[in-house]
Each structure stands twice: as structure tokens, then as C-alpha cells.
Amino acid sequence: MIDVTFDFRTDTPVGKDPDSSSLTLKKYHQSLWSKELPNGEYMDLKMSPAPWYLTWKDFDFGSDSIIVEMNYKKNERIIEQVKKMHYKKDMH
């Protein structure tokens, strides 16, 4: 269960960034982003020591790389192409 009211600063060492140093946030990310991949393989993320945040196989993820920012304007052309592909697929 994820406590959406939890203040990640409370389990972060003084002077450190909660984004990379909060053990609770790390556990939440591990739970949220461990999942079955499109190829059917399960990506079971493991906690790892610094400088890495979470690992899976030979992949190391930092606290900021586990989530990719999506800027609509920057990616509008690609998003529209995907929408058209899904629209055509749904029509068949």
C-alpha cells in the first residue's frame, strides 16, 4: 500500500535529496515500476547501492531515469502517429 500523504523528507538524511535518498520512495518506485514487459518477461526491479537506484539484469536506473518525462509539444508528431495507428487498429 502506498501512503500518498507520506513526506519523503522525513526518512531522508539531512542535506540529501529525497528523490534519490528516501528509502520509502525507493520502495514505492520498486513496487510501481516492477512489471510484466510487452514480451512477457517480468522486470523485477531490485534495490541497489549508490550511485544506482534500482537495477534489473544489466540495467541500472537512477532516481530520475526510472520515469521518463513526456513533453507533449516536443513529442506531438509522434503522439499523433501513435493515435492514428491505434485508431486504425480499433477500426478493424
Name the residue with higher pLDDT: 75 or 38: 38
DSSP string, 54-74: EEETTEEE-TTTSS----HHH
Its pTM stands at 0.64
pLDDT (tens digit, 9 = 90+) per residue, 16-71?
Answer: 988 888 899 989 989 988 999 888 899 999 988 766 688 888 888 876 665 555 56
Per the CB < 8 A criterion, the answer to whether 31 and 46 are in contact is no
d(CA 54, CA 9): 20
List, in sequence order, the alpha helices (H) in the chain: 18-21, 23-33, 72-91
